[in-house]
Amino acid sequence: MTSWIESAQRLAEEVLAPQASAVDSSGDIPREHFDQLAEAGFYGAAMGDDIDLAAFTEVGEILIAGCLATSFVWAQHHGVARRVATSPNHELRERFTEDLRTGRVRSGVSYAGAADQPALIARRTDGGYVLEGTAPFITGWGLVDIVGVMARDADDDGSLISVIVPAEESAALRVRPIPLTAADASRTVTATFDGVRVADAEVDNRVSMKSFHASYIIAAWRNGSLALGIVRRCIAELGRLGVDPAALADESAAIRKELDAALLGQSDVYLARARAAELAMRAASALVTATGSAAITRGTLAERSLREAAFTLVFGSRPTIKSALLDRLAGPAVSP
């Protein structure tokens, strides 16, 4: 994994960071970004059983510091890749695992069926399921090949059906682009499923709602890298501007320890996520201040970092994260 960190640093410094402003302004990510991530082995980074967690998270933070839009699309891949690699559907596992590991097949994801009020329902039919409803957010449309979709089982409200769907529009699958204030080049869309048929061969798993929520800690832990990646970028730039970022760096390291400890049940992952997002806002605000009036110019590193820090306040959020952030940003939240 040390070589992976070195590869991530090279990609971030030589490819991602130099083009991040152009990606942000144009709304287009060069496909070469993803090809180079694949060549470096980063699409399979989360698929082994012997993952070096410290190195994995450092790789994520380095890449995000380079270009949030590119890294945001890449990050969606990992949960689906791990799920397929351990699927009880042996034929699907054999068909997709190696291609997902190498990045020959790239995946987006939707958990629309896991919401308290599920937006996407799977109804049993001969030889498979029919999907009906909406996936509010799918990232990477036009940049990924498949989407790992979780839909609520219409016959068992306590279960999710996890399926693989081609990332292609059709009469039954329509998408609408969502303009984002940050990472807009990630091509995030809302997808409407109007009778999308999925054969049993494309079902990778059935997951109980209880099991899904218990395992969501991993996604919350992983998503902490978005905020800490922005912090990493701001720390580096503040140093170049002559501002001592030691206190920010120490706080970031402490939050990383809290996030990692949460995987062992030794801390609250949601509170750590809230702390990470708040720190990203403070670090980006410090960068704006240190940059001066030039920071109010659209497209500067400081301006973009502030928008991207705000993005981390709401991405992948949960009520506990929101409440913790409101407590930190506006004082204790008032109960309705």
The predicted-structure confidence for 77-117, as pLDDT tens digits, reads as follows 998 999 999 999 999 999 999 999 999 999 999 999 998 89
CATH number at residue 158: 2.40.110.10
Q: What confidence score (pLDDT) does residue 55 get?
A: 84
Say how many domains are in the chain: 3
Share of the chain above pLDDT 90, in %: 87
| Residues 89 and 201 sit within 8 Å (Cβ to Cβ) | yes
**Structure-token pair, residue 223:** 């998503």
Considering the domain boundaries, does residue 97 fall inside one?
Answer: no
Last residue of a domain, one of 208, 231, 249: 208
Flag whether pLDDT at 333 surpasses 80: no
Does 128 lie in the same domain as 180? Answer: yes
CB proximity list for 233: less than 8 A, separation 6 or greater: 64, 65, 66, 301, 305
Check whether residue 126 and residue 196 sit in a common domain. yes
Q: pLDDT for 283-296, tens place per residue?
A: 999 999 999 999 99
pLDDT tens-digit map of 5-54: 999 999 999 999 999 999 999 999 999 999 999 999 999 987 866 667 77
| pTM, to two decimals | 0.93
Does residue 95 belong to any structural domain of this protein?
no
Summarize the confidence of residues 308-327 as an average pLDDT. Answer: 94
Q: Which CATH number do you get for residue 45?
A: 1.10.540.10
Backbone angles phi, psi at 291, to 5 degrees: -70, -35
Same domain, 241 and 260: yes
By CB atoms closer than 10 A (0-12, 13-18, 19+), residue 117 is exposed
Residue 218 lies in a domain: yes
Mean pLDDT for the stretch of residues 213-219: 84
In the block, residue with structure tokens 């969502």: 178
Write out the residue range of the structural domain in which residue 241 sits. Answer: 210-330
pLDDT over threshold 90, residue 253: yes
* Shared-domain flag, residues 125 and 188: yes
Query: Would 264 be classed as within a structural domain?
Result: yes
Using DSSP's 3-state secondary structure scheme, residue 133 falls into strand
**Does the pLDDT value for residue 335 go beyond 60?**
no
Contact 75, 222 (CB under 8 A): yes
Q: What is the torsional sign of CA 230, 106, 35, 95? A: positive
Instruction: Give domain status of residue 335, yes or no.
Output: no
pLDDT of amino acid 118: 93
325 and 234 in a common domain: yes
Is the Cβ–Cβ distance between 18 and 65 less than 8 Å?
no
Which single residue is written with the structure tokens 């219409």? 154
> Per the domain annotation, does 148 fall within a domain?
yes
In a domain, 204, yes or no: yes
Q: How many helices (H) and strands (E) does the chain have?
A: 12, 8
